Structure 1
Amino acid sequence: MTNYQIESREWWVERWLELLDSYRFKKRLERARKYSMEGNVLSIEFKGAKVLAKVQGSEVDPYQVSLSLTPFSNEDWNYVIETMSEKAIYAAQLLAGEMPANIEEVFTANGLSLFPFTLSDIHSRCTCPDPANPCKHIGAVYYELGDRFSEDPFVLFQLRGRTKGQILDALRQVRAKSVKDGGKRNSKENGKGLKKKAPKPKNTQTPLNPELFWEYEEPLDSSLVVIPSGHSANAPTSESKGILELLGNPPLPSHDAAMVRQALEQAYQIASQRAIATALNRETPSS
């Protein structure tokens, strides 16, 4: 069963199919949908950012269909990746293979559009004799791509010139560079400070209070808070991936990275238990 037959569809699939449904020749769309449902699309493959498909029509040999969007330039993608990396939630969801609900804002902030505005923005060709575009063979490929988008939302990015692996690698590199550059900058500033800054007066620093560690006065982004159903506050689900798994190892030497990761895992486990217990109005677990 194809995704366009299911009432609840992913938002990015809806956007793609809405574009197709805007086509005014509805009878042609009905034939295209029938072709897709009956398996007339024999194959779909990617050649770079272009989609190549074979669609069985009325002739013995299948028709050759090509479809593509205008890919973004390398400079455009560099800006997009930089913007993605600035929000941890984008990086975490993309590294987990999920499409953030407001991912389009990343592109519009850089003067780009992830989705085409009209069907005329999609470059398509078919070897059939029908002069209309989209013909039913091209339309069938549109519907099949909706299924591909549902299975792997990164296909959308590939149509704009970047594969899933390229985007994830670029995200990891930008985030690692940001951490590394921040560490170097802080080290340099601290080194200069030892020579130039006068000693601070004693007893002017507010003492640290461990009891205030868990207090946070700002509201949390709801997309960052997940309470697994059917699990107690003391037993978070083991099936969902944690933030450390999504973001990968810290950009440190292997020995140091292992020590930092172990410490963070313990801290995050306690923090998640306390958060769930607080949300459920239960007593917090002992640390």
Structure 2
Amino acid sequence: MRATYPRQDPPRGGVRSWWGKAWQRAVEEAAYSEAELKGGRTAARRGEVGGISVDAGALLAAVREGDDAWTVQVDVPVLDASGRRSLVEVVAAESGRVAALLAGELPHDLVEHAEELGVELLPYGGELAATCTCPHYLAPCPHAIAVLVQTGWLVDVDPLVLFAVRGLDREALLSALHARTADLEEPPARVADLVDDLEIAADAVLRARHLLELLESDAEVPDSLL
């Protein structure tokens, strides 16, 4: 399911999570040279990237440069059906993993467990194939780097963005977890209710985090967050 995220502001203190830093390392690997990397980072910090559309295997965004605007698409390999099933099993295998993901955390052991099953969640530089409508002769160009950098900011806050890019978005993951409980011998109601409760709690955590950021920046707080 495609989701579009609004224009991003640079994170205070930079990317903090280990998985967000891993994404940024992949961006560095993907860059042809330091010049493209520096230009892309500058464009990202200046807010020249518009809303980022995230779908299975693809990122899409417009990037402004003076009076021009260019369209960037980044293709990322998605997990096949077997890989998605394995990833769901990994999430369900340990107590607390669902809650952690919904609260914006990516347990390191979850990623390691997935890798043991042959499922690569975090991309490496060679997997980030970008195209842009600009005339730049190298790929990825600075505009594409800017989109990748800002996607890393999204991943840093919500690792489920990473799942979505790999072909297993939030709704698909929760649906698969619900379906999995139906195969259990014991009545699944309590397990399913727990997933629902965790999702509600995670939304509350994200709202609280957003409220704290607004208060720290002295920005106006909308009534919906009070």
* Cα distance change on mapping 1:34 and 1:97 into 2, 3 Å: closer
Q: Which residue of 1 aligns with 2:215?
A: none
Higher alpha-carbon deviation: 13-22 or 130-139:
13-22
Q: Which residue of 2 aligns with 1:27?
A: 35
Residues of 1 paired with 2:103 and 2:39: CA distance?
37
* Cα distance change on mapping 1:110 and 1:171 into 2, 3 Å: same
* Structure 1 residue ranges, 4+ long, deviating more than 6 angstroms after superposition: none
Residues of 2 paired with 1:73 and 1:115: CA distance?
15
C-alpha displacement of 1:172: 2.7
The answer on whether the counterparts of 2:56 and 2:166 sit within 8 Å (CA) in structure 1 is no
Structure 2 stretches of 5 or more lacking a match?
A: 1-8, 198-226
C-alpha displacement of 1:98: 3.1
C-alpha displacement of 1:52: 0.7
DSSP 3-state at the match of 2:117: coil
DSSP 3-state at the match of 2:96: helix
* Cα distance change on mapping 1:105 and 1:64 into 2, 3 Å: same
Residues of 2 paired with 1:7 and 1:63: CA distance?
26
Residues of 2 paired with 1:96 and 1:44: CA distance?
21
Q: Identity percentage over the alignment?
A: 26
Residues of 1 paired with 2:133 and 2:196: CA distance?
46
Matched, 1:90 2:94: no
The answer on whether the counterparts of 2:121 and 2:166 sit within 8 Å (CA) in structure 1 is yes
Matched, 1:79 2:64: no
Residues of 1 paired with 2:176 and 2:104: CA distance?
15
Letter in 1 for 2:52: I
Structure 1 stretches of 5 or more lacking a match?
A: 184-242, 250-287
Residues of 2 paired with 1:70 and 1:53: CA distance?
18
Q: Scaled by the length of structure 2, what TM-score is found?
A: 0.72
C-alpha displacement of 1:182: 4.6
Q: Which residue of 2 aligns with 1:273?
A: none
Residues of 2 paired with 1:21 and 1:50: CA distance?
19
Letter in 2 for 1:155: V
Q: What is the root-mean-square deviation of aligned Cα atoms in Å?
A: 2.6
1:191-210 map, 5 Å: none
Q: Scaled by the length of structure 1, what TM-score is found?
A: 0.58
C-alpha displacement of 1:245: 7.4
The answer on whether the counterparts of 1:96 and 1:246 sit within 8 Å (CA) in structure 2 is no
* Cα distance change on mapping 1:133 and 1:182 into 2, 3 Å: same
Relative contact order higher in (CA < 8 Å, ≥ 6 apart): 2
Q: Which residue of 2 aligns with 1:54?
A: 62
Which structure: larger Rg?
1
Q: Which residue of 2 aligns with 1:142?
A: 148
* Cα distance change on mapping 1:24 and 1:122 into 2, 3 Å: closer
C-alpha displacement of 1:76: 1.5
